[in-house]
């Protein structure tokens, strides 16, 4: 009997493979339903929706560290996690063998936001690590890596999809080894560890005192749904698409509006904003937003 633990869309192809290949997934553990969107609609996780469609039991503890005994009582042979969203308590890991599908090439980018930070950092390559789970965050022994190229046009959605498929395929390749325990494993080199902690609101902000590439990568890592943000004239502006301008040089925060295009100066470069959302208003392409807007003015500086 297998317990699968996951929550977002990233986890769905992995769970679907296990079901379709007839592995005995008898319990799915996922995060509690959450309120989503401006209308605060109570929404099930993508993993819960998939599990329900196959008639698999779903368990949604608010705090797994206080409510894990139910999993132990099921006496699973293996726990498989893929972007679950809570730390597995040591008491659970001591009782049940667990493996994780982590969205980076460990020991680089341990933590809850490895896909976002791969984009924030402008990496050209990342990957999936299949690993044993240990109580210390993402510190377990590694079973196998698979590399994934990051294209210039990738954002969080596209990279997450590529990594999800890579994780699915790697897990399928190694499932029999995992169940039999017939695999080689390798300890992580602690001297090479970097972190990608779960994002805070402040991590999602743009900083026009940095260069345009820094800000563009922040937008990529938060698109297409969350959006990067900055404050201007007492309102929050979210940015969902951008480009680095190679020909326009503006001082940090300086605004240039030209032919229905919006540029904001960065450190030695300019960032072209392509899609944005002013707080309380609709998300729009800039060419449409600039028709009749009164927020941005030519030559102003957002820091003044």
Q: Is 115 left (phi over 0), alpha (psi -120 to 50) or beta?
A: alpha
Q: Is 181 left (phi over 0), alpha (psi -120 to 50) or beta?
A: left
Q: pLDDT category, 247, cuts 50, 70, 90? A: confident
DSSP helix/strand/coil, 162: helix
Average pLDDT of the residues of the chain? 96
Q: Is the pLDDT of residue 140 over 90?
A: yes
Contact 205, 230 (CB under 8 A): yes
Contact 132, 143 (CB under 8 A): yes
**Confidence at residue 40, expressed as pLDDT on a 0 to 100 scale:** 85
Q: Is the pLDDT of residue 155 over 80?
A: yes
Q: pLDDT category, 48, cuts 50, 70, 90? A: very high
Give the residue-averaged pLDDT of 278-302. 93
pLDDT of 141-150, one tens digit each? 999 999 999 9
> Half-sphere exposure (CA, 13 Å, Cβ side) for 110?
20
**Confidence at residue 3, expressed as pLDDT on a 0 to 100 scale:** 98
Q: pLDDT category, 2, cuts 50, 70, 90? A: very high
| Residue whose entry in the numeric block shows the structure tokens 């996922």 | 30
Taking the C-alpha atoms of residue 300 and residue 174, their distance in angstroms, rounded to an integer, is 57
Q: Is the pLDDT of residue 239 over 90?
A: yes
| CA-based end-to-end distance of the chain | 61
Q: Is the pLDDT of residue 60 over 80?
A: yes
pLDDT of 212-222, one tens digit each? 999 999 999 99
Give the residue-averaged pLDDT of 9-30. 98
Binding residues for (6S)-5,6,7,8-tetrahydrofolate, as ranges, are 104-107
**Confidence at residue 292, expressed as pLDDT on a 0 to 100 scale:** 82
Q: Is the pLDDT of residue 249 over 90?
A: no
Q: pLDDT category, 36, cuts 50, 70, 90? A: confident
Ordered structural domains, the chain, with CATH: 2-192 (3.40.50.170), 201-289 (3.10.25.10)
Q: Which two tokens stand for residue 299?
A: 């030559």
């Amino acid at each position: 009997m297998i317990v699968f633990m996951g929550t977002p869309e990233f986890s769905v192809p992995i769970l679907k493979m296990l079901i379709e290949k007839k592995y005995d997934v008898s319990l799915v553990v996922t995060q509690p339903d959450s309120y989503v969107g401006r209308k605060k609609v109570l929404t099930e996780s993508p993993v819960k929706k998939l599990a329900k469609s196959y008639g698999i039991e779903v368990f949604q503890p608010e705090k797994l560290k206080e409510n894990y005994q139910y999993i132990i009582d099921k006496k699973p042979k293996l726990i498989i996690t893929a972007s679950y969203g809570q730390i597995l308590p040591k008491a659970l890991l001591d009782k049940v063998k667990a493996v994780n599908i982590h969205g980076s090439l460990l020991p680089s980018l341990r933590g809850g936001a490895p896909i976002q930070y791969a984009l924030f950092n402008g990496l050209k390559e990342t990957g999936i690590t299949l690993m044993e789970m240990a109580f210390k965050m993402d510190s377990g022994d590694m079973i196998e890596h698979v590399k994934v190229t990051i294209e210039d046009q990738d954002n969080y959605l596209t990279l997450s999809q590529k990594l999800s498929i890579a994780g699915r395929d790697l897990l399928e390749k190694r499932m029999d080894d995992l169940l039999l325990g017939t695999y080689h494993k390798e300890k992580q080199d602690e001297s090479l560890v970097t972190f990608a902690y779960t994002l805070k609101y402040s991590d999602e902000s743009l900083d026009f005192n940095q260069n345009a590439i820094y800000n563009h990568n922040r937008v990529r890592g938060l698109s297409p749904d969350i959006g990067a943000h900055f404050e201007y004239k007492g309102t929050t502006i979210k940015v969902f698409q951008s480009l680095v301008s190679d020909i326009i040089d503006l001082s940090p925060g300086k605004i240039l509006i030209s032919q229905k295009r919006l540029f904001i100066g960065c450190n030695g470069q300019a960032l072209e904003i392509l899609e944005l959302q002013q707080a309380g208003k609709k998300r729009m392409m800039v060419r449409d937003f600039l028709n009749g807007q009164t927020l941005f003015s030519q030559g102003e500086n957002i820091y003044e």
